[in-house]
Structure 1
């Protein structure tokens, strides 16, 4: 069970995982060593899965996002496994979620440019038969939260 103090620590770490223990402790009224023990406990219990660096996509040449909707050809276990394998083999597909409704999957694809989408599309359709595939190019990101609403 998470305490309010645990939630406060998680909130600080999700905003900046490089925050010094002394600063975290001051904000949650704990000593740095007590903070360290709490963070270790949160890690051991799976609340903190890993620490990552947030990369500026534009600066590394990947400014374009395309959302792709997929309707499955069939809903068999074999097709689903083949689809999972197919998307795993294409690094530009950075996220895949299964949905309810008329669309089965939503893919988030990150690319250098819109022109590169055709290459990803061809790689995907070469690996798996799908009923329909539709793409939407992101024109502007209005909101992209990097933190969870823990408060």
Structure 2
């Protein structure tokens, strides 16, 4: 990956709706080689997909909660069941296996406390967990999907 590929990625991270010709013009290439580079970045899996970022507040999804979970069991079968179960809950927008005191971290986006309570009951009712704790985000200070490349 060279400087031009990085520039393409930087541009696409900021606006995935840019046309190939717009990108090519901004990086100093003609459209065909620029298009080939984008295709190659997709083929290599560097560009995973292109999406629209939505405004959670405007969609009445103004509460972000970080949920930490301790596993009920520490084996691959339980992890598989938990991962499959959590993947099916649309309010979970991010899911990580962690080091430290808690085994998993979930980022959950819901409308309000009542919606979180419904989510929480579904989470703890669907699979055996050892411990669950939640922290509510009071203010979003920085949010980006753009990676430093």
Equivalent in the alignment of 2:121:
122
User: Residues 20-35 of structure 1: matches in 2 within 5 Å?
Assistant: 20-35=19-34
1:27-56 CA distance string (max 9 Å, x none): 211011221111111111111111101111
Alignment RMSD (CA, Å): 1.1
Cα distance in 1 for partners of 2:145, 2:75 equals 35
Counterpart CA distance in 2 for 1:22 and 1:76 is: 51
Summarize the alignment of residues 97-108 of structure 1 with structure 2, pairs less than 5 Å apart: 97-108=96-107
Q: Give the structure-1-normalised TM-score.
A: 0.93
- Structure 1 unmatched runs, 5+: none
Matched residue SS, 1:80 = helix
Higher mean alpha-carbon deviation, 14-23 vs 50-59, is at 14-23
Q: Deviations over 1:62-91 (max 9, x none)?
A: 111111000111101221122112212221
Map of 1:83 onto structure 2: 82
Unaligned ranges ≥5, structure 2: none
Q: Please name the residue that 2:134 is paired with.
A: 135
2:84 and 2:41 map into 1 onto residues whose CA distance is 32
Aligned-pair distance for 1:23?
2.3
Q: Give me the TM-score of the superposition, normalised by structure 2.
A: 0.95
Shift >6 Å, 4+ stretches: none
